[in-house]
Structure 1
Amino acid sequence: MSNRFNKAALLAGTIMAGAMVATPAYAQENTDGADADDGFIVVTGSRIQRRNVDSPAPVAVVDSEEFELSGTVNVENVVNTLPQVVPGTTSFSNNPGNGTATLNLRGLGSQRTLVLVNGRRWMSYDTAQIVDLNTIPSFLLDSVDVVTGGASAVYGSDALAGVVNFRLKDVDGIEMGGQYSITERGDAARYEVHGAIGTSFDDGRGSATVYAEYYNRDSLFQGDRAFSNFALGGETDGDQQYQFGSSTLPNGVLRYLGGANGNTGLPAGTEFGPAGASGFGTGVVFDNTPGDFRQRAGDLYNYAPVNYLQLPQERYLMGGYADYEFSDGHEFYTEVSFVNNRVAQELAATPVTGNFNIDLATQLQFLVPSDQQQLLDIDAAETAQNALDGVADDPGVVNFFVQRRTIEASRRNSLDERSAFRVLGGVRGAINDNLNYDAYYMFARTRNSNIQAGNISRSAFQAGLDGTATPINIFGLNTLTPAMFQQIAIQAQNSDISSMQVASASINGFLGNLGMGGDDVGFAVGAEYRKVASQFIPDTALSSGDVIGFNAGLPTEGSYDVRELFAELNIPILGPDAGVEKLDVTAAARYSDYSLDAVGGVWTYAGGIEFAPVPDITLRAQYQRAVRAPNVGELFGGRAIGFPPATDPCNLGTGAALTATCVASGVPANEVGQGNIQPNGQIPATFGGFAGLGEETSDSYTFGVVLEPQFVPGLVITADYFNISIDDSISVFGGGLNNALDLCFNQVQDINDPICAPFAPGTGARSPGGAITTANNPLILAANIANQEVSGIDLQVNYGTTIPFSLLTDSGEQQLNLSFLGTWTEKSNFTPVQGFATVNECAGRFGTTCGEPTPKYKWTSRATFVDGPLTTSFRWRHLSGVRDDNDGVDYSQFNGVERINAYDLLDISFSFEVNENLTIAMGVDNVFDTLPQTPSFDAAGNVTTTSNGTLLGDNQEQANTYPSTYNVLGRDFFVSANVKF
């Protein structure tokens, strides 16, 4: 085989540009195996084989030992600790959540992070074409490379924020192992077992690795932790934080919002309910003082305890990879993987809300006499008024806003079972001493089956109230008999099918040098074809909208393909013979022709430079233009209702311009600012795709320095500035419902402006009473409308040395390795509408607009002592403080949280090599048991605790905090064993 083709080098891991020292975590690998006379390597972010690990693009690396020392099995738990990553969907994402684990580089969105395995695309799981990290075998990871900035010129679409490449290792012999984790409280258990066999055959011409893994994770409920046992809120409405819960009550209520002409003599807000229930049975009218909803605090339903805090999971994973040299210098290679993953979500019993027709003849029997008479009076008043106005009337039927939580169903449960497989076959080899080729075809397919229990049929519920079916009694606790519940219950299910095909061929090699002391010029050229297809298939209940509980939606189906040509150059200009260490220039370009009319043909390109005047210092810089084509969901997504947290400015706002805009959108003038038109913190809206979407375009540049001072052997310091800007970013119109409401009613304040289009008259965005309801809500479609920008500095420090102390070796020395990987985020901006004055500045912030906390400073550091067979390691994780993104409200005045304080976690782990075959590891994560503070309440239900900075109310994600960012398990123990033969 030609010495230009080196399989082991092609799979070499833990590469860090400019690095020359190995450390056990976040390592910059040494150059062993990258000798210019022996072989070549391929760094993540390029297709060109190189003689060294240097690259103009900064590459952060997590090596395999970090997974072992951190006691993690799921990839997400290590990757989310990287400073470059803002947590996406995780094992703590219940509502919202979808049973997956995703990677969100730089906080720009999981759909803008390209995930590779061994340098090639991995399988996606839904119409958004995002990779589920649960499908990657963590026990086989050799390293994880994180490349900052757009990389479309090298890899194609999706790499706007950067690339994350998971490198799998070859196994030689038999490797088996397992791990068990459990919290100090004896819950949230997780265990995993795995095995792999690797061997060579046919006198070394071929090699193969096969593997299998089983993983199981127990559920943990929010009620199992004191900080999350009560749903908290209130401060957004200008009230003290208190036991908030939901106004959808287990004992049922009719809320009268006024007759067809608003002229019945009763104020809006009059409620009727069962005898004996607090606040009901007397036709009492609420105190409708703006912001004062706590009058019903004693009646609010605490939905928190029965929601999952940690989602249960069961995973079967198996696969293999092999290669065979079928001719001298030419080999066939293949990869096969299969994953079956089951993850459940658990929510409180279904809350039924909305307007329903009530047949008084059948429903009066369930109410106390005082309510019965008042309801009859309302019916008579409406009948008389309708006769005067010539409006059709249905005697004995009155329309009410109904609230009833069907606790007879216990809980809502959603079970996702994803089966995914990926097959790849290719050939590679040497054309001559200077040229190599590589060609492969890959097919991946994921099918998800989602089964939902605990849903309610809206039509059956209505029939039980309007006299067209057996009457149901919604008034009082547990008043729905088993027969009544079966009459209104409905099970729903849907499925997703996603597939990807990739055919790629490339040639790379060397063209000789420029004669100025530099190495040979390297190049790569090639072509690629990709096709993505996906569909979402809801059942009749979900597609028709006749379901309450989980969100209804229409089917989605679509596909597109792209044909691409690409090229790269690596031009070493100067070398040691020219009096400098090196001067290299790189360039890359790709032309992509999409089958989408709105995208068509697009160019991406990149250029970089490295200059090392002396061996101790390397300067580097790179510019990249990248694109992302819209995914299937964004293009063809069927319209589906959602319930995002949002604030309707017309509910509590004041001012002439706001009032005029609200009235123009359909809110009665006397209801603006009165607190009656938003009964819940979640507002319904209908979302969907748009087939006319074009591509997103990003410009990113990085420049930095690598310091390897020869007077401090073993020290490597890298610092890189990054800036990524995305134009025509695809987003739901206005950047989401909450942003759209704010832009229209608080800023533009003109219902005829395009920004206000979703709320304009005639769109059905509001009910006759002005509220946004399930039946009347705005349509929010995807659009190329936003802009995103992130910038900051990545700093990495690695130092390895020996210390003159040892307990277990004869040398009297042990190895000390120190590593630090940190990010300062200068900007994390989101502009909902390009060219609009509103810019959401999210660096150092969190909340309903910015979402997941984005600390300005985030770092992970580790100190590791290697004393012969014993490795002792300490990890320190730090997040700087963040403040709420709503500058108009100081939540601390309402005993809420205006600022989440700086956050630190300490982890300790030990690893011991019993012999050359057996290694045992154990450790403790979150040594100091750092958790959000447990709330205390006064007699009125107000929170009296002064929060430690992570206990949130209305501005939480879930569980009174952001559980993917802040630890919710507490002190956590693990033990593992690994056997090799």
Structure 2
Amino acid sequence: MKTHLKKAALISATSLTAAAALVSTNAYAQTGPAEASEPSGEIIVTGSRIARRNVESAAPVAVVDSEEFALSGAVNVESVINTLPQVIPGTTSFSNNPGGGVATLNLRGLGSARTMVLVNGRRWMFYDTQQIVDLNTIPSFLIESVDVVTGGASAVYGSDALAGVVNFRLKDVQGLEMGAQYGVTSRGDGQRLTANFAFGGEFADGRGHATVYGEYYDRKDVFAGARKFSEDVNWDDYEGNIIPGGSATTPQGRFTSVLPTSSDDPTAQLCPTGNIFCSPGAFYETPGSSRPRTASDLYNYGPVNYLMVPQERYLMGGYADYEFSDGHTAYAEVSYVNNRVANELAATPVTGTFNIDVATASQFISAADAAAMNQLDTDGDGLVRMSVTRRTTEVGARNSLDERNAFRVLLGARGEITSNINYDAYYMFARTRNSNIQTGNVSRSAFQAGLDGTGTDINIYGPGTLTQDMVDAISITAQNTEISTLQVASGVISGSLFNTGMSRDDVGFAIGAEYRRVSSEFIPDTALSSGDVIGFNAGNPTAGAYDVKELFAELRVPLVTDTPGVYRLELTGAARYSDYSLGAVGGVWAYAGGIEYAPIPDVTLRGQYQRAVRAPNVEELFGGLAQGFPGATDPCSSRQPADNRTDVVRDLCIATGVPSSAVFTAAVQPNSQIQGLFGGNPNLQEETSDSWTAGVVVTPTFFPGFTATLDWYKIEVDGAIGDYGGGLSNTLNLCYNVFQDINNEYCQAILGTRNANGIMDGENVPSILAANTGGLKVQGLDFELSYITSLGGGLISEDARISFNFLGNYTIDNIYIPVASNPEEQYQCAGAFGNLACGTPTPKWKWTSRLSFIDGPLTTSLRWRHVGAVTDDDDTTDYAVERLGAYDQFDLTFSADVTENFSLTAGVNNLFDKQPPTMGDNQQQTNTWPGVYDVLGRDFFISGRMTF
């Protein structure tokens, strides 16, 4: 088995508690407004639909209490969730390129599409054709707790739950609550302001309760140029050094004849010797006057990119329930979010092959250059064909503004059928509409017309040469729309059946049915869909929908309690049959079985097996072709390490379209990003996963206040849906460095995608469509230690307490298999990162711990966050930074109950101003991996909350 090992693994950690109210165990759960306690005092634990008296479950459930959001100064949900041990950061507020203006959740590093997000135990609204939830739409100030169930949960909740489920429980409000918070970095930027309110109470003589809420949030941008580590673009020189880099597409412009400089064909028309436009081409350092382009002629695009993207959000909604008849309650939930987030990149880099009218160009360039250009006119028509790269800084930065309007409405009823059997049924409709406005784009057709004399003449021969009239002639604004809807109709009957005679609890059951319909469409304007836009990625329309009808059942069997050697023994089982309208999926089963055994009250052993499924989403099935520019290394360029520049690779490069004289030179793929076309595949089949968990919970009676848990997990996903070949970078690697056969399917995917100079550019690029790849495997250990005890008298009160919590994860395996037909070719991403296969750093060790001192109304809390070391995932490339060391960050918070109705919290995150690790070509963006490592530096916040 060929395994690319890189010393890596998955870990995560979170801080749960800071006071007595924060103590939790991995099986702790609270009830929210839509999951109210049963009359008997039973509760619903996330991961099951069966009410129970205790909070234990066969599946490990990690819980984040509401106080963690307050103590960490978190306004957006992502700020706390990304510190959980089970989570690898997805898209965050520091995601600019790639970006999208959202915050996503990625359990176990298995991908956001494999993580189900619930609010009050029910599906939440998603934001795009990938059917992923934007955490920005969840009101963090109303969160009572967050339950995280890892491992497949499709048997209970349906598709999308291969990695697990995260359930946000919102609290019922009594009276009026008002809060505000302000945050700013130690550099005086990145200001964040939020204000929120919620009021609620009983009505109709206590038969009903309602909560209404609203929030405004404003986050200012931070540019990469505002931080030392990101003010320049880093490159590798492949001699072990990081050097200043940038884009080969500069404001000065580069013009290179497409005529070859050498050829094996004696009849070929060669570029004239000594002509300035022959490779490496003419570079216009000053307007109209050229010199030969050199490798150091680069544009530093780094400082004008966002480091933290701006956001403005309005959020409002409410939920209520009313007992309209004895034992029967109607309930409703309504929410609306208006969310505006922008991404900003450096000015548009125009690249491609264009026809240039010599007479038009002559008015802007020197006589010598005009003569050299005329020499290239081999057919005498006055036109020459050239490869042009020009950064249009005169047009301004590229800005993409996403404004999402999302709403969700839910109506339901629950109640008693008999004294021990209940029902719960609801209908939910959610719709998200995203309006995307792109500025800073350039029209390819207008640009071409400005060069060949058929439109407004444009002067691109030097920096700052485009006049306002020229800018107006080539600029184009793109407006695009995305609409996504989700409908759910669900009903369940649950309760108790009988008692085995040996247990204090009855056998519990749940049986139900569910119907879901999902639909999404992406509607680009004609400029974007036609490919005429240069700047942001062009894409074709996407539209699709499907529905699914499901039947599900659960059974909980308490076998024995309170007997010698068996304090509690319990079995659980669940199954779900899903019938999809998708022909390639059809009918599928998900099922689960678990056991809990407590020999004594102090110790509980638990284990579970689950088979889960995930049907492909609309984007994966019906996504139209769209441009993408992923980070990738072309094995035929000078970026290929010397050890891999073999004769076999050379011959493959020539066979796939690279001129023999250009192989392994800087002329091939000068940029660190390579363009490709990406899209959906209607023939995709469902993913399946098998997950196993086993653990122990220890709550020693002789050591009050202490809890320890240890859980092992293993998840294997077969037929994982992803980009063909594992993405463009890995497809290139598979062709040139692994299979090394021109007839192999991965080399065939590259064949015909290079231009005359061997470059994959705007007219010749690979198509990388969605496919059922080999699979994913993760395995690791979750562990938690928590302790709270009274210290007696403190500085303020007579009953001071100390609270400690440590939550961490050790990842044994995080394996990616890109090719289903070749499972031996796999990547070990535990303890790894990189652009080849693993992506976001997935450390073996990750934890968060919190130590709090509670002295009456005053709480002092210190949090320690640790991200373990990771190593680059690409064995074929020697990067200047192959290893990112362990990263530790400390946060300090003070909280005080000033009066009975007013509390004040102030804190500093990243207390010691820890800087992120930086690297060259194997970065994600801004010379690091933002979201994993702190990029703002020391950050202050202060918040206040009043209740009436």
TM-score higher than 0.5 here?
yes
Native 8 Å contact 2:27 2:61 kept in 1: no
Alignment correspondent of 1:314: 312
Q: Hey, what does 1:258 align to over in structure 2?
A: 259
User: How far apart, CA to CA, are the structure 2 residues paired with 1:816 and 1:208?
Assistant: 36
* Structure 1 residue 884: Cα displacement: 1.4
Deviation at 1:35, TM superposition (A): 11
Asked if structure 2 preserves the Cα contact closer than 8 Å seen for 1:321 and 1:335, the reply is yes
Q: Please, which of 507, 524, 530 is the counterpart of residue 538 of structure 1?
A: 524
Asked if residue 574 in structure 1 is aligned to residue 560 in structure 2, the reply is yes
Q: CA deviation at 1:425?
A: 0.3
1:844 aligns with 2:831: yes
CA contact (8 A) 2:257 2:271 kept: no
Partner of 1:739: 730
Change (3 A) 1:571 1:244: same
Letter paired with 1:149 = G
Distance 1:29-1:58 versus aligned 2 partners, 3 A rule:
closer
Aligned counterparts of 1:434 and 1:400: Cα–Cα separation in 2: 80
Work out the CA distance in 1 between the residues paired with 2:595 and 2:473.
Answer: 70
Q: Secondary structure at the match of 2:418?
A: coil
- Deviation at residue 276 of structure 1 after TM alignment: 4.0
In structure 2, the residue matched to 1:370 is: 368
Please tell me whether residue 867 in structure 1 is matched to residue 855 in structure 2.
Answer: yes
Aligned letter for 2:922?
N
SS at match of 2:363: helix
TM alignment of 1:17-416, pairs within 5 A: 24=22, 38-235=40-237, 237-238=238-239, 240-259=241-260, 261=268, 263-266=270-273, 269-274=279-284, 276=286, 281=289, 284=292, 295-297=294-296, 299-379=297-377, 383=378, 393=379, 395-416=381-402
- Which of 952, 961, 964 is the equivalent residue of 2:919? 952
Q: What letter corresponds to residue 60 of structure 1 in structure 2? A: A
Equivalent-residue separation in structure 1 for 2:854 and 2:124 (angstroms): 35
Displacement of 1:283: 5.3
Task: Tell me what 1:703 maps to.
Answer: 694
Aligned equivalent of 1:728: 719
Q: Is residue 908 of structure 1 aligned with residue 892 of structure 2?
A: yes
> 1:256, 1:270 within 8 Å by CA — same for their partners in 2?
no
Seen in structure 2, the aligned counterparts of structure 1 residues 803 and 28 have a Cα distance that, compared at 3 Å, is farther
The answer on whether the counterparts of 1:44 and 1:165 sit within 8 Å (CA) in structure 2 is yes
* Letter paired with 2:241: Q
Judging changes above 3 Å, is the alpha-carbon distance between structure 1 residues 743 and 32 closer, same or farther for their aligned structure 2 residues?
closer
C-alpha change, 1:130 and 1:929, in structure 2 (3 Å) is: same
Residue 820, structure 1, aligned to residue 811, structure 2: no
* Aligned-residue RMSD, C-alpha: 2.0
Q: How far is 1:355 from its partner?
A: 0.9
The answer (yes or no) to whether the contact 1:446–1:497 under 8 Å persists in 2 is: yes
- Which of these residues, 972, 975, 978, is aligned with residue 939 of structure 2? 972
> What per-residue deviation string (whole Å, max 9, x for no partner) do you get for residues 708-737 of structure 1?
111111111000011111000001100100
Contact 1:27/1:63, CA 8 A, preserved across alignment: no
Structure 1-normalised TM-score?
0.91
Distance (Å, rounded) in 2 between the aligned partners of 1:249 and 1:863: 52
Distance in 1, Cα, partners of 2:217 & 2:745: 50
The aligned counterpart of 2:470 is 484
1:23 and 1:818 in contact (8 A); partners too: no
How far the C-alpha of 1:27 sits from its partner, in A, is: 5.5
CA, structure 1 residues 549+282, in 2 after alignment: closer, same or farther (shift >3 Å)? closer
Which residue of 2 is the match for residue 291 of structure 1? Answer: none
CA distance in 1, matches of 2:218, 2:380: 57
2:927 partner amino acid: N
CA distance in 2 between counterparts of 1:425 and 1:270 reads 66
Cα distance between partner residues in 1 of 2:793 and 2:882:
48
Query: What is the match of residue 885 of structure 1?
Result: 873
Counterparts of 1:35 and 1:612 in 2: how far apart (Å)? Answer: 25
1:100-152: per-residue Cα shift (whole Å, max 9, x none)?
00001111110000000000000000000000000000000000001010000
Quote the residue 2:760 is aligned against.
Answer: 772
CA apart distance, 1:670: 2.9
Q: Displacement of 1:834 after TM fit?
A: 2.0
Contact 1:518 1:573 in 2 (8 A): no
- Opposite residue 940 of structure 2, the aligned amino acid is F
Cα distance in 2, alignment partners of residues 747 and 877 from structure 1: 39
Displacement after TM superposition at 1:365 (Å):
2.6
Identity of aligned pairs, percent? 59
Q: Tell me what 1:753 maps to.
A: 744
Distance 1:683 1:167 in 2: 43
Letter in 1 for 2:343: Q
Give CA-to-partner distance per residue, 1:772-819, whole Å, 9 cap, x none.
Answer: 11111111110112311111000011111111341112x3x3111110
> Aligned partners of 2:773, 2:37: CA distance in 1, in Å?
49
The answer to whether the Cα contact below 8 Å between 2:706 and 2:788 also exists between their aligned partners in 1 is yes
Is 2:649 the counterpart of 1:642? no
Equivalent residue runs for 1:933-952 within 5 Å: 950-952=917-919
* Cα separation, 1, equivalents of 2:707 and 2:676: 52
- Report if aligned partners of 1:708, 1:717 keep a CA contact under 8 Å in 2: yes
Report the TM-score, using the length of structure 2 for normalisation: 0.94
Q: Distance in 2 between matches of 1:917 and 1:449?
A: 41
Q: Specify the alignment match of 2:781 in structure 1.
A: 793
- Cα distance in 1 for partners of 2:700, 2:203 equals 45
Number of residue pairs matched?
912
How far did 1:676 drift? Answer: 1.6
Pairing 1:687-698 to 2, within 5 Å after superposition: 687-698=678-689
- Contiguous gaps of at least 5 residues in structure 1: 1-15, 287-294, 384-392, 933-949
Q: SS where residue 500 of structure 1 aligns? A: strand
Question: In structure 2, what residue type is equivalent to 1:264?
Answer: C
Offset of residue 488 of structure 1: 0.6
1:240: how far off? 3.5
The residue type equivalent to 2:365 in the other structure is L
Q: Which segment drifts farther, 779-788 or 765-774?
A: 765-774
Instruction: Judge conservation of contact 1:731–1:786 (CA < 8 Å) in 2.
Output: no
Offset at 1:181? 0.5
Residue aligning to 1:655: 646
Structure 2 CA distance, aligned partners of 1:412 and 1:120? Answer: 38
Matches of 1:499 and 1:360 in 2, distance apart?
A: 53
Shift of 1:663: 2.5
* Aligned twin of 1:523: 509
Q: Could you tell me how far 1:22 is from its partner in structure 2? A: 5.5
3-state SS in 2 of match to 1:88: coil
The alpha-carbon deviation at position 234 of structure 1 amounts to: 2.7
Retained in 2: the 8 A contact 1:516–1:573? yes
CA drift of 1:360 comes to: 1.1
AA aligned opposite 2:208: G
Residue deviations 1:159-190 (CA, integer Å, cap 9, x gap) = 00110000000001111111111111111000
**2:856, 2:20 → 1: CA distance?**
17
For 2:404 and 2:386, the matched residues in 1 are separated by: 41
Which AA in structure 2 matches 1:93?
S
Alignment partner of 1:296: what SS? coil
Partner of 2:796: 808
Kindly indicate whether structure 1 or structure 2 has the higher relative contact order, using CA contacts under 8 Å at least 6 residues apart: 2
User: 2: CA distance between counterparts of 1:32 and 1:421?
Assistant: 26
Say if 1:804 and 1:262 are closer, same or farther in 2 by CA, change over 3 A. farther
* Helix, strand or coil at the partner of 2:809: strand
Residue range with higher mean Cα deviation, 698-707 or 676-685: 676-685
Amino acid of the structure 1 residue aligned with 2:795 = L
| Structure 1 range deviating more: 182-191 or 130-139 | 182-191
Give the 3-state SS of the residue equivalent to 1:745 in structure 2: helix
* One-letter amino acid of the structure 2 residue matched with residue 927 of structure 1: L
Assess if the C-alpha contact under 8 Å between 2:26 and 2:709 holds in 1: no
Where 1:587 maps in the other structure, the secondary structure is strand
- Residues 859, 878 of structure 1: 8 Å contact kept: yes
Match in the other structure for 1:923: 907
In 1, are the aligned partners of 2:27 and 2:60 still within 8 Å (CA)?
Answer: no
- Paired with 2:676 and 2:683, the residues of 1 have a C-alpha distance of 21
Q: How does 1:586-735 map to 2 (within 5 A)?
A: 586-652=572-638, 653=640, 654-735=645-726
| Conservation of the 8 A alpha-carbon contact between 2:522 and 2:543 | yes
**How far apart in 1 are the matches of 2:830 and 2:716?**
15
